[in-house]
């Protein structure tokens, strides 16, 4: 039965490519209950495809988001809150939505925005694979505090650091009896271990919490980023007792080819309040600053009446989300046209 199911899933993926529309896909489980919470991408016409391919990922404007990317589908974003969610990641997700990210690509099946950081990382790795198979774009991960630890642990699960295989996890029905998915872009079967995310970020994640909560398996791995993500950004404060930083933030490093960036946050930032960024998208001056931001920007924060202590990481993450949203959309278009280059598959 498993072989039949896999063959059927492979046929559906290839058929979808031939039809040139992701809207033709069907869930691998063939269960109608799977579809409503996870809407499929709308098909793109040739003109929209050309506009997507013409975008410069490092210079995506507000107009590009509104007029092109928002019509081309989007990767799912999973935002993981801290261990004691006095502030969940909901305000951060509200910020992303206000900036133009499709809400349906952030909301969970129950309509909520923020994920618990006590989720099983192995299960989440299998869930990412399920979403990629069904939605055609690799999800992004953003975690605050302990949520950032889960982000890194998922990357290690995908790298095989904790075992040679990871089961596919249906977010509605649980574990499936398989450890591979059918790649929606080329119809080939791929193990969950070895799948690669485009972007992931950890905000104010430190080793002290790993000691306190007995998360020993992550003590040596927390700041080591494997090749299961293209770009990873760590945001840290030099003085952050909750994270275990007392005047120094230990940098994250790549184990291989992953691009790892370390961003030190302003001294007036608060560990607990880092997800509170929704207001920055509503204020015209801070929104304009965010839209103009590129990594390395030294422009002073605008003089406004609202708190701007969270402006840097909000802008940096939005920049990266736009960039990798664009790259995933372009990858999807090239796959539909049979133009994927080696290394993009």
> So what's the pLDDT on residue 213?
54
> So what's the pLDDT on residue 32?
33
Using an 8 Å Cβ cutoff, are 39 and 104 in contact?
yes
- Residue 186: φ, ψ to 5°: -135, 0
Task: Give the residue-averaged pLDDT of 132-157.
Answer: 96
For the chain, what is the mean pLDDT?
A: 86
Top mean-pLDDT range of 42-46, 215-219, 228-232:
228-232
For residue 39, give the nearest of 103, 124, 95 by alpha carbon. Answer: 103
- For residue 210, give Cα distances in angstroms to 74, 205, 219: 33, 10, 6
pTM: 0.86
> So what's the pLDDT on residue 220?
87
Give the pLDDT confidence of 220-272 residue by residue, as tens digits.
899 999 999 999 999 999 999 988 888 888 999 999 999 999 999 999 999 99
* pLDDT band per the 50, 70, 90 thresholds, residue 209: low
Q: Does residue 39 carry a pLDDT above 70?
A: no
DSSP lists the bridge partners of residue 120 as: none
- Secondary structure (3-state) at 185: coil
Q: Give the C-alpha separation, 202 to 191, whole Å.
A: 25
Burial of 141 (0-12, 13-18, 19+ CB in 10 A): buried
DSSP state of 300: P
Contacts of 119 (CB under 8 A, 6+ apart): 80, 150
* pLDDT band per the 50, 70, 90 thresholds, residue 345: very low
* pLDDT band per the 50, 70, 90 thresholds, residue 340: confident
* pLDDT band per the 50, 70, 90 thresholds, residue 19: very low
Q: Does residue 215 carry a pLDDT above 60?
A: yes
Using an 8 Å Cβ cutoff, are 73 and 42 in contact?
yes
The 3-state DSSP composition of the chain as helix, strand, coil percent (nearest 5) reads 40, 15, 45
| Percent of the chain surpassing pLDDT 70 | 84
Task: Give the residue-averaged pLDDT of 55-82.
Answer: 97
* pLDDT band per the 50, 70, 90 thresholds, residue 297: confident
> So what's the pLDDT on residue 218?
85
Q: Does residue 205 carry a pLDDT above 60?
A: yes
Contacts of 338 (CB under 8 A, 6+ apart): none
Using an 8 Å Cβ cutoff, are 113 and 243 in contact?
no
Least confident of 35-49, 76-90, 120-134: 35-49
Domain 44-336 sits in CATH 3.40.50.1820: yes
Quote the tokens at residue 288. Answer: 């304009």
Q: Give the C-alpha separation, 310 to 281, whole Å.
A: 12
Give the pLDDT confidence of 76-103 residue by residue, as tens digits.
999 999 988 899 999 999 999 999 999 9
Q: Give the C-alpha separation, 183 to 337, whole Å.
A: 16
Q: Does residue 12 carry a pLDDT above 50?
A: no
Least confident of 126-135, 160-169, 215-224, 329-338: 215-224
Could you tell me how many residues make up the chain?
Answer: 345
Using an 8 Å Cβ cutoff, are 236 and 222 in contact?
no
Using an 8 Å Cβ cutoff, are 138 and 75 in contact?
yes
Using an 8 Å Cβ cutoff, are 69 and 205 in contact?
no
**Crossing angle of the two packed helices 90-99 and 311-336, in degrees rounded to 10:** 60
Using an 8 Å Cβ cutoff, are 221 and 253 in contact?
no
DSSP lists the bridge partners of residue 201 as: 142, 233
DSSP lists the bridge partners of residue 202 as: 143, 234
Q: Does residue 275 carry a pLDDT above 60?
A: yes
């Amino acid at each position: 039965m498993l072989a039949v199911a896999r063959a059927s899933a492979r046929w559906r993926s290839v058929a979808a490519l031939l039809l040139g529309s992701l809207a033709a896909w069907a869930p691998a489980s063939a269960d109608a209950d799977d579809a409503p919470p996870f809407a499929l991408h709308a098909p793109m016409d040739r003109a929209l495809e050309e506009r997507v391919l013409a975008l410069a990922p490092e210079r995506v404007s507000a107009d590009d988001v509104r007029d092109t990317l928002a019509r081309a589908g989007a990767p799912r974003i999973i935002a993981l809150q801290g261990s004691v969610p006095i502030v969940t990641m909901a305000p951060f997700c509200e910020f992303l939505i206000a900036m133009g990210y499709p809400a349906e690509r952030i909301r969970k099946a129950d309509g909520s925005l923020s994920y618990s950081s006590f989720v099983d990382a192995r299960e989440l790795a299998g869930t990412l694979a399920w979403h990629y198979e069904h939605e055609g774009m690799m999800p992004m991960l953003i975690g605050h505090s302990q949520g950032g630890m889960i982000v890194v642990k998922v990357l290690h699960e995908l790298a095989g650091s904790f075992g040679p295989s990871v089961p596919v996890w249906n977010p509605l029905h649980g574990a499936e009896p398989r450890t591979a998915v059918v790649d929606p872009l080329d119809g080939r079967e791929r193990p969950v271990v070895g799948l690669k995310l485009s972007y992931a970020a950890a905000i104010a994640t430190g080793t002290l919490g790993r000691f306190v909560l007995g998360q020993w398996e992550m003590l040596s791995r927390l700041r080591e980023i494997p090749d299961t993500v293209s770009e990873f950004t760590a945001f840290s404060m030099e003085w952050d007792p909750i994270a275990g930083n007392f005047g120094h933030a230990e940098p994250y490093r790549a184990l291989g080819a992953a691009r790892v960036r370390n961003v030190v946050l302003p001294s007036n930032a608060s560990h607990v309040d880092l997800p509170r960024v929704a207001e920055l998208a509503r204020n015209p001056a801070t929104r304009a600053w965010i839209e103009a931001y590129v990594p390395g920007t030294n422009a002073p924060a605008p003089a406004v009446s609202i708190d701007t202590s969270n402006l840097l990481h909000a802008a940096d993450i939005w920049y990266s989300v736009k960039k990798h949203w664009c790259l995933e959309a372009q990858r999807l278009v090239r796959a539909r046209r049979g133009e994927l280059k080696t290394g993009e598959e």
